[in-house]
Amino acid sequence: MFIIPTYTLAVLFCVVTMLCWGSWANTQKLAAGHWRFELFYWDYVLGICILALLTAFTLGSSGTGGRSFLADVAQADQSNLFLAVLGGIVFNAANILLGAATAIAGMAVAFPVGIGLALVIGVVVNYLDAPVGNAAILFGGVALIVLAILLNANAYRKSVGRSTGVSTKGLVLAIVSGCLMGLFYKYVAQSMFPDFNRPEPGKLSPYTAVVFFSVGVLVSNLLFNTLLMLRPFVGKPVSYADYFRGGLRNHLMGVLGGMIWCIGFAFSIIASDQAGPAISYGLGQGATVVAALWGIYVWREFRNAPKSTYRILNVMLLCYVAGLSLLIIAR
């Protein structure tokens, strides 16, 4: 299987993760005018599963390091397979709420608040499991990110105060999503052998872990998304018949969104060997900055807000960038 040889390359992989995780929601925005989020999400999950399998049978089955995908599956312990699946279930619960928050409040709110909170929780949880990096610098970066989250929430409250069409429901969903999102990564990390050059009996390679993570996402979606279709946070219930009435473009947008997200996840997992799970996860969650830039300056989600709101948002972005920079040098 392919293994990253250096920390520098691992950071580059994390940057790709950041771009993918911060940009996939654009596919949801592009489909939103005529395609409900609940319907979009079925194709999004399908895209995750497709990319996970493609990665396993290409990068995960080439090279001389580690174990190839099929050989790894054959020797895997059921408890580790379960951990990877559990990570997918927890992620899916969080991501459905994040998608709903994006549909209600926009990318510029849902990602900085939800994913920012997930970053803080995830860095702490993953560092406690695998303490890699300078703790003072690492948690200094986390403190700046917490400040950025508070600034973003304040900017959103100002926007709500000026626009009757915006609901605080989006902010609440983003917060709940962030609490769950910060936990999923540790289950996947625990299922893998920590040194990718030294496979351990029963443990999973990163590529196998990503595949079984996607299984957890797919299976749990049968429950989570069905419930959301019946009791949506906004709008009328939708049916499976509505899904099959969708056009090719609608379905392709969802599949593309899932594949973009899964590229980021696979790269983050592969980078965790050199960077450590806490730094790898934290850098990937720099997606908050990318998504906020898309939401603020491309989709113009705060166009009706007072000018002072933009000053707050710019300070928020600076805090995020400074915090992420500290995460990079913490190693």
Residue 63 clears pLDDT 80, i.e. is over it: yes
pTM of the model: 0.87
Q: Taking residues 303-307, what's their average pLDDT?
A: 80
Determine if residue 199 is left, alpha or beta; phi over 0 gives left, psi from -120 to 50 gives alpha, anything else beta. beta
Q: pLDDT-based confidence at 187, cuts 50/70/90?
A: very high
Question: CB of 57 within 8 A of CB of 69?
Answer: yes
pLDDT digits (tens, 9 = 90+) for 11-44: 999 999 999 998 998 998 888 677 999 999 999 9
Domain ranges of the chain: 7-329
DSSP-derived 3-state class of residue 201? coil
Cα separation of 103 and 88, whole Å? 22
Residue with tokens 């830039």: 293
Which residues are CB-contacts of 183 (< 8 A; sequence separation ≥ 6)? 90, 121, 122, 125
Closest CA to 66 of 152, 3, 158: 3
**If you average pLDDT over every residue of the chain, what do you get?**
90
Q: Helix 169-191 to helix 78-105 angle, to the nearest 10 degrees?
A: 160
d(CA 182, CA 283) in angstroms, rounded, equals: 13
Residue 261 has pLDDT above 60, yes or no: yes
pLDDT band at residue 165 under the 50/70/90 scheme:
very low
